[in-house]
Structure formats: C-alpha cells, structure tokens
C-alpha cells in the first residue's frame, strides 16, 4: 500500500458520499444489513464505516434495541456520515480497526463494508474483531472480487493508466481490488482464531446516472485522486474526462447498469 491509499480527506469524503455510495456501495450495504436482521438487541460495531452507507442501512432495518457504534480512521468521513444521519441508538467514533477501543466480548456483531482491504495489518484487525465479539457473535464483511469482474472500475483503471504510461497509478488494483483471493482471506481469518467461516460471491447491479458522475466519483472521491495529483496535479480534470470518455464509449452517454461482484464473509469464533 501507498501512504495515501487509506487517506480520505479534503473534499474526497463529500464526493465519495455523493457519487460513489449510490454507484458502488448502497446495494451491498443493504445486503450486509440484512445479515443482522435476526439481531433483536445488543451492540453492533461497524469498522471502516466511511460516510455511513451501511450505518444508514442498519438503522433502517435493525431493532431499535440494537446500539450501533460506527467507527472509522478518517475523521472527514465520519463528519460527513454524522451530517447525514443521527439516531439515539447510534454513536460515531474515530477508531482504528486494528486497535479497537472496546472491551473484550462486548459486541454481538462486527460489520465492515469494503474496508479490510485498506488495513495494513489485516490479521491484527481480524484479531481485534474476534476479541470484541461475544462467543455467539459474528463478524461480517465484504471485499471486492477481482477488478476484472467489476467492469466500470476496470475501465476507469485502464483509462487512468493510459495517461501515465511510464508510471501508471495502481491504487484501484493495488488496494480496493487487491484482496480478492478467498483462500488467503480464509487462512487469515483462521490465523486470527475464527473457527466457522463462510464466504459467498455476491453479484449486484446499480444504475449509474451518467459516465461523467461515475468518473467524478472514481477519480475525485477516492485516494486515486492523490495518486493522480502526485504525478501532475494539473491533470486531475483531464484524467476525470478520460475516464468519462472511456465509460461513454462502452455504455453510451446516458445512464447505464453497473454490474459488480464481491465476496461476503461471515466468520464466527
């Protein structure tokens, strides 16, 4: 990972929430929230909550007797999330998933949407999730399948790479789409002490409003922005236009289907 891969700061959180949450995250947020539909009471900890896509889905579906602690390392993401939703059962808290500020066996569930890929020490994060879980609790998270199974993002990655042929930005392939091997994921969870592990590959489809909006989200609403600007800050708009043009060439000028693939993991002690 590069040092900027997990840095969501400046205008990135707002752009991320406006453009990428509906494009990439809302369909999978609903899926994760539904997996806790049987939880009638207790405590649910969310790690890498971002701007709260899963948080909002949980609050709309969970029993009001379940308390939700939504955490993220980036305060900018939490600020946007807190401005979008508040609830007596919800607390927002800055926290590192690799060092959770919660007591042993204090949670009935831990949930994380598309966050573990950004953690430098995934094993430490898995051990922390297991530590805070009660014996009957479960850890549910998702990761993207390989980028080749996510066409919109693949097109964006290739369009950006073509602008910098001598030093292409590889954020997309390296980090959000770099932890897709289910064998590796299973071994890491087993090493952290989880005994019951289920991994499903789930395909979802969202409706992209336009190629332009998808390009803005991907280029300006993720740490890919920092990688582009590190090469030439003056070329950020050019890079966004290149992605927009590539998506338009593939899908047309109007709205289009964004077909996605991810692995959903459920692990229990």
pLDDT in tens, the chain (269 residues): 787 889 999 999 999 999 999 999 999 999 999 999 999 999 999 999 999 999 999 999 999 999 999 999 999 999 999 999 999 999 999 999 999 999 999 999 999 999 999 999 999 999 999 999 999 999 999 999 999 999 999 999 999 999 999 999 999 999 999 999 999 999 999 999 999 999 999 999 999 999 999 999 999 999 999 999 999 999 999 999 999 999 999 999 899 999 999 999 999 99
In the chain the first and final C-alpha atoms are separated, in Å, by 29
- CB 192 within 8 Å of CB 269: no
Helix 224-232 with 211-220: angle, nearest 10 deg: 80
Coil vs helix vs strand at 141: strand
How far from the centroid of its chain's Cα atoms is residue 164's Cα? 26
12-268 CATH choice from 3.30.450.20, 3.40.50.150, 3.30.1360.120, 2.60.40.10? 3.40.50.150
pLDDT digits (tens, 9 = 90+) for 209-251: 999 999 999 999 999 999 999 999 999 999 999 999 999 999 9
The per-residue pLDDT for 169 is: 97
**168's tokens:** 């292409």
The per-residue pLDDT for 125 is: 98
- CB 80 within 8 Å of CB 51: yes
Question: How confident is the prediction for the chain on average, in pLDDT?
Answer: 97
pLDDT digits (tens, 9 = 90+) for 156-172: 999 999 999 999 999 99
Q: Which helix (H) or strand (E) holds 138?
A: strand 133-144
Question: How far apart are the C-alpha atoms of 114 and 20, rounded to whole Å?
Answer: 12
**CB neighbours of 180 closer than 8 A, spacing ≥ 6?**
143, 144, 145, 146, 263
- CB 88 within 8 Å of CB 154: no
- Dihedral angle over CA of 125, 126, 129, 131, nearest 10: -100
Question: How far apart are the C-alpha atoms of 122 and 181, rounded to whole Å?
Answer: 14
Question: How far apart are the C-alpha atoms of 197 and 184, rounded to whole Å?
Answer: 12
């Amino acid at each position: 990972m590069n040092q900027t891969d997990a840095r969501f700061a400046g205008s990135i959180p707002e752009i991320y929430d406006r453009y990428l949450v509906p494009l990439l995250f809302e369909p999978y947020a609903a899926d994760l929230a539904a997996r806790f539909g049987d939880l009638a009471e207790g405590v649910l900890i969310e790690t890498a909550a971002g701007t709260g896509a899963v948080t909002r889905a949980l609050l709309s579906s969970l029993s009001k007797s379940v308390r939700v602690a939504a955490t993220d390392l980036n305060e900018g993401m939490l600020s946007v999330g807190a401005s979008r939703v508040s609830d007596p059962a919800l607390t927002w808290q800055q926290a590192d998933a690799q060092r959770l500020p919660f007591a042993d066996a204090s949670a009935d569930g831990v949930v994380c949407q598309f966050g573990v890929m950004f953690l430098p020490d995934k094993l430490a994060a898995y051990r922390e999730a297991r530590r805070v879980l009660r014996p009957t609790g479960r850890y549910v998270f998702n990761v993207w399948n390989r980028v080749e199974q996510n066409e919109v993002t693949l097109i964006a990655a290739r369009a950006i790479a073509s602008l910098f042929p001598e030093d292409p930005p590889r954020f997309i392939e390296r980090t959000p789409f770099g932890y897709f091997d289910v064998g590796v994921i299973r071994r890491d969870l087993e090493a952290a002490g989880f005994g019951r592990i289920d991994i499903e590959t789930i395909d979802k489809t969202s409706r992209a409003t336009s190629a332009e909006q998808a390009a803005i989200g991907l280029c300006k609403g993720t740490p890919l922005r920092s990688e582009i600007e590190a090469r030439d800050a003056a070329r950020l708009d050019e890079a966004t236009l290149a992605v927009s043009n590539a998506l338009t060439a593939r899908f047309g000028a109007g709205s289009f289907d964004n077909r996605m693939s991810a692995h959903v993991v459920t692990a229990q002690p």
